[in-house]
Structures are given as C-alpha cells and as structure tokens.
Amino acid sequence: MSFGRMLDDSFSYAKEGVWGKWKHWLLLMVSLIIFPLILGYIVRIFRGEKPAPRLERWGGMFIDGLKLLAVSLIYALPVILLVVAAFMPLLSTFVSSGALSVDFAAMSEAQMDQWMTSHPQILSAIGTMFIVLLVAVIVTIIISIFSFIGTVRFARTGKIGEGFNFPEILAQIGRIGWLTYIAVLIIIGVIDVVFWLLLHVFSFIPVVGEYVFLIVAIMVYPPFVLFVSRYAVLVYECDEPVSAPAGQPPTPGTS
C-alpha cells in the first residue's frame, strides 16, 4: 500500500468512526477523561477491527488500556530517567549555590554576569543538562522505532511480553523495509507535530484561550486517535502478503 493510500484509508477510517455518530463521538470524548478507556479502544483498533469498533465491554476495554499503558510506560522509562538525570543535577546546583533565594529580576545585566561568573558550576550544570536532553531525544527516536510496531504487536497477541519481542520486531521491520518504515514514521511524526501546533493556536486567544484550546482538543482528539491508530495498523500489516492475480505468487504489500 502506498503512503497516499495509507493516509487516505486512515482518514476515511477516522471520519466513518465519528462523523454522524455523535453519541459514539461523545463517549470517546468521555473516555479521554478515564484515559485507560481510550487506550483500551486503541488496542481494539490495533487488532485490526474495521470499521472502527463500537464502545462496548467497558471492563475489558479498561483492562486492555491498563496493559497498553504498562507497555507504553516501559518503553518511556529510559527517556523519563534521562530527563530526571538532566534536571536533578541542575536543581541540586541551584539549591547549593543559593540561586533559589536570589532575585534575578532585580539584577542589572552586569550584576547577572558577575553572579554567573562567580558560580561557574551553574553554567556547567546547564551544559550537562542540554547534553543529556540531546541524548534523551536520540533515545526517544530509537525507542519510537520499536514501540510503533511493539504496541500493535502486543495488541495482536494479547501478551505484554510480545510488545518487547525485539528480534520479531526487527524481523517485521525488515520485511516492511527499513526505508519504507522510517518514511512512514517521519510522515506520522510530521502530521502529529502539525496537528498539535494548529491546536495550540487556540491557546493564543485572549482571556479564554486556554479554555477554548481544552474544549477543541477534547473534541478533535478522538478522530485523531482513530486516524493515528489505523495508520499504525496499516504500517504493521505492510509486510503481510496482498492478493495476487490467479497464477501469480503473492507479493509483499510494501510500497
């Protein structure tokens, strides 16, 4: 399946899942608040249900959501630890230097420079923080390569451990094709960034911006979840054979 067809299929899936189905859309918005429910709904999408699954069997969906949360947290743990490792030394240095009790706003530029010069450990801690954060970004990218397939694999097998079956994940990426896989990750990453940037435009509305942002986010996030989740399914299924004309062998569905 081509990139364009994957995006078109995902958009159609999301549209059919909510458009004209206002009760279903409302329930999805409510499930955002009890967030394991929306995660459990994502698990059902990951299992390949088409059209978008109905909201039912809430208990099972809640449990599936907790399992997906566990898988996601395990994947995120190295990044969380790196972020903590980046900020804790800086915070410790600020406390030990007495910076928390200094009124920097009342200082002139010259006084600020003099204070920083007399506390070189602050600059050193800031430099260390940026280096560790850069490492965290790199680790996040690497983890995303595995987690994108791993979370769907968990949903398909029902086993948390299969979400971390790295040999099988690597084998599946190999069948999809590394260039194809990296390309689809970049595409969905760009779409995600653009989505949130456009959404945050509402937060700049004077006085009520934050409230408008929250309301709009709750409204549009459910169809976006359907879109991204369906896209992940199509990527996962890229290595599966597609139907071939009679007399010809099937060929992998990688484009």
- How far apart, in whole angstroms, are the C-alpha atoms of residue 151 and residue 64? 12
- Residue 251 has what pLDDT? 42
pLDDT of residue 153: 94
Neighbour tally for 188: CB within 10 Å: 20
Give the predicted TM-score (pTM) of the model.
0.80
pLDDT of residue 50: 85
Whole-angstrom distance, CA of residue 19 vs CA of residue 240: 30
251 forms beta bridges with 242
**What is residue 2's three-state secondary structure?**
coil
Tokens linked to 230: 């369906």
The pLDDT score that the predictor gives to residue 239 is 62
* Buried-exposed string 221-245: b where 16+ CB fall within 10 A, e elsewhere: bbbbbbbbbbbbbbbbbbbeeeeee
The 8-class DSSP code of residue 52 comes to P
**CA–CA distance, 9 with 15 (Å, rounded to integer):** 10
Please say whether the beta carbons of 47 and 156 come within 8 A.
yes
Per-residue pLDDT, 105: 66
Separation between Cα atoms, residue 34 and residue 72, nearest integer Å: 17
Residue 84 has which token pair? 């903590």
- Compute the distance between CA of residue 61 and CA of residue 36 in angstroms, rounded to an integer: 8
Answer whether the bond into residue 241 is a cis peptide, omega within 30°: no
User: CB of 100 within 8 A of CB of 76?
Assistant: no
pLDDT of residue 14: 92
Give the pLDDT of residue 12: 92
Q: Any idea of the CA torsion for 29, 221, 10, 5, to the nearest 10 degrees? A: 160
Distance CA 151, CA 147 (A): 6
| pLDDT given for residue 84 in this prediction | 92
> Which pLDDT value is given to residue 210?
86
Tokens for 204?
Answer: 């700049």
pLDDT in tens, the chain (255 residues): 578 888 999 999 999 988 888 888 899 998 888 889 999 999 999 998 888 888 888 999 999 999 999 999 999 999 999 999 988 887 887 777 666 666 666 667 777 777 677 767 777 888 888 999 999 999 999 999 999 999 999 999 989 999 999 999 999 999 988 998 999 999 999 999 999 998 888 888 887 888 888 888 888 999 999 999 999 999 998 765 433 333 444 444 443
List strand residue ranges (DSSP E) for the chain, in order: 241-242, 251-252
